[in-house]
Structure 1
């Protein structure tokens, strides 16, 4: 029996007409508004730009290219071509949300907040600032000199997405390799930290080192293979964490190195290390390396080669590495990670893995010495740790 209900194609057509109508109406308002007086949040011109961006945002989620491009002034072919490229990228991503909202408008330049999240992975949105130039017939360009957009994974060219069992990898480069590695790492992380985490993550693979630096908040990733981070949102809201893979350092890793690095970074995601400002860094990084190296078969003197040379020469560390020891400019950065890893492994071997996990959780809510005393029964593990280093690295 035939139904009078509209089929999917008719529904899409009606929605496209509604979106196009909204864009046309907004463009009409813009054409009728002059920019002489300083615009306010409620003036007609700002309202028209708001309506334009709302319709454009709806077009992104509906994957409606004509409606998306209807917001662009056809007299600007260069900008139109760039917007076609942007739409192609966004349409290929599994977006759960996409919003462009007006933060301010001076009559020709709109400061815009963009927000997006990935379906099945994000419980919070990534919020960034962008700039769009607006004319009587729609959008005419980006901000230009002095008004740079916040960096996005698609800022430097086309990207694709690969979805694994427990991850989404977005960018350019070895996406399948990273996705496979994260899928292998997820059960290993869960085996240590438990199931009380999302058990999935989003990884970004930038185009090049400059792109990686921009996405990492101007942090140089040339010697860092990957980084778990939650760059600050433009509106101050809690951001989702991302694993950022270095396009420069990643290719230099061995298969074992890639396994350890991805498991390490996924451990940071599992324990929400990006938002942790209280746990001492030796425990944050050492715990992640403990999970990363667990059951890897890596020999101690190979995995901690730099520290092993020092210990063999009789240069034992006198204290656990402090916060500054993990700075990218630290001359003993490798040794600091190795010291932290072996401290955590010693705790797990001496007191049990559950005690190490309990210590990590306790140190997030109380001072380091109190956490050590409450969980391990002693506030000073340095003598035992020094003996452990001597035994395993001499």
Structure 2
């Protein structure tokens, strides 16, 4: 039995509890630290202030004046200096900011707001881009009131569509033979993108001798940057290792078509698979397939026909997904449609492989010259039926039958 004489009495317990509560209150309030600086309020004439501030950014002719126009906070200075250095690296000219709306109401606890701004610019020749194209993007700038009637501009995200390249991060340009590689915040450090871009161009030239142009590759450091540069939500690009698109999503010349890598996917691939992806995208770029109305299976299948032309990997590796599906459920009943290539769909790899197998079949039976002629005819808007008949002397229905049989036979010999 315990000695009850050593237990604290009820009054002692009450005092100890009171002391603990007081200590807890002191630790929470921390009066010895003093009150924090109050968050500045957004000025009543926010729209006028922002209009003038973005006009000043447009008129800035030096890093110092650009940084001064961005605001007084440390975050604004870092943002402005990085953006200025990136646009200088790209040789950006005719940079202009036009305030559209927003910035009047704080939407974060730090008192900052979002302002919609139209940003225009033109690239320099050193970036391997069309110097004659004026690019326009809708950008949401994070603006924080400074307390002096102005704002600090601290970050930028796409409002709708792609983000201007020089607002995505620090930019560095490399020019290997036949290619331009633009790294954002160091890009993807896992693979030698520069030499791979040159190899991708060479792969296209082996199938399409005399092809002109350079392969321009943008290598972001993060998947989020990649999504911002192509103007898509992150969830829409999680299966994509790379995409060929027009910079800033605008229409323009072939010089504005670029390959944008997704480092989250691209850097996890082995060297062979990553090279296949880059050669595939280089085919899109150099044959100007972006924005055409050609059948998706033709565009994607031919790109893999080029990328895998000299590949020594077995079918179990290069077509393993579609052949596994054929073994389990039989060959598809039709050639892939545009909807099948939706980046958000499950089993996207099998769809690409099935399109490549159609071109592999055509190459084996009719030769490279006939395949190239077929692709170029479809790319030139010739109806698919006419292009198949002209190049191979068969109908689309006959091609589909041959393709299904080819898939079934290939699946039967792959372990």
TM-score (norm 2): 0.71
Does the Cα contact within 8 Å between 1:193 and 1:270 map onto a contact in 2? no
Task: Say whether 1:287 aligns with 2:302.
Answer: yes
**In 2 relative to 1, CA 297–125 (structure 1 residues): closer, same or farther, beyond 3 Å?**
farther
Q: Distance in 2 between matches of 1:237 and 1:358?
A: 26
Q: 1:274 aligns to what SS in structure 2?
A: coil
Instruction: Report Cα offsets for 1:323-343 as digits up to 9, x if no partner.
Output: 121112334322211110011
Match of 1:345 in 2: 360
Q: 2:263 aligns to what SS in structure 1?
A: coil
Task: Say whether 1:122 aligns with 2:129.
Answer: yes
After superposition, where does 1:1-394 map in structure 2 within 5 Å? 52-56=56-60, 59=61, 64-73=62-71, 75-91=72-88, 93-95=89-91, 97-102=93-98, 104=100, 111-120=117-126, 121-123=128-130, 124-130=133-139, 140-142=151-153, 148=159, 151-153=163-165, 155=167, 157-165=169-177, 166-171=179-184, 172-174=186-188, 177-198=192-213, 200-216=214-230, 217-218=232-233, 220-230=236-246, 233=249, 237-238=251-252, 240-276=256-292, 278-313=293-328, 315-364=330-379, 365-380=381-396, 381-394=399-412
Q: 2:218 aligns to what SS in structure 1?
A: strand
Q: 1:244 aligns to what SS in structure 2?
A: strand
Q: Distance in 1 between matches of 2:102 and 2:323?
A: 61
Q: Distance in 1 between matches of 2:156 and 2:82?
A: 21
How far apart are 1:182 and its partner, in Å?
0.6
**In 2 relative to 1, CA 111–259 (structure 1 residues): closer, same or farther, beyond 3 Å?**
closer
How far apart are 1:168 and its partner, in Å?
2.1
**In 2 relative to 1, CA 307–82 (structure 1 residues): closer, same or farther, beyond 3 Å?**
closer
Match of 1:10 in 2: none
Q: 1:222 aligns to what SS in structure 2?
A: coil
Q: Distance in 1 between matches of 2:211 and 2:157?
A: 45
* Structure 2 stretches lacking a partner, 5+ long: 1-43, 105-114
Does the Cα contact within 8 Å between 1:131 and 1:142 map onto a contact in 2? no
Query: Which stretch of the first structure deviates more once superposed, 108-117 or 281-290?
Result: 108-117
Supply the RMSD in Å over aligned alpha carbons.
3.7
Q: Distance in 1 between matches of 2:158 and 2:273?
A: 40
Q: Distance in 1 between matches of 2:195 and 2:264?
A: 19
Instruction: Report Cα offsets for 1:274-304 as digits up to 9, x if no partner.
Output: 211x211111110011111111111112211
How far apart are 1:181 and its partner, in Å?
0.5
Q: Distance in 1 between matches of 2:222 and 2:305?
A: 30
**In 2 relative to 1, CA 297–77 (structure 1 residues): closer, same or farther, beyond 3 Å?**
closer
Q: Distance in 2 between matches of 1:345 and 1:191?
A: 16
Does the Cα contact within 8 Å between 2:242 and 2:261 map onto a contact in 1? yes
Q: Distance in 1 between matches of 2:67 and 2:92?
A: 21
Query: Which stretch of the first structure deviates more once superposed, 115-124 or 143-152?
Result: 143-152
**In 2 relative to 1, CA 84–302 (structure 1 residues): closer, same or farther, beyond 3 Å?**
closer
Q: 2:363 aligns to what SS in structure 1?
A: helix
**In 2 relative to 1, CA 296–112 (structure 1 residues): closer, same or farther, beyond 3 Å?**
same
How far apart are 1:232 and its partner, in Å?
5.5
Q: Distance in 2 between matches of 1:177 and 1:147?
A: 29
Is the radius of gyration larger for structure 1 or structure 2? 2
How far apart are 1:264 and its partner, in Å?
0.4
TM-score (norm 1): 0.74
Does the Cα contact within 8 Å between 2:241 and 2:265 map onto a contact in 1? yes
**In 2 relative to 1, CA 70–332 (structure 1 residues): closer, same or farther, beyond 3 Å?**
closer
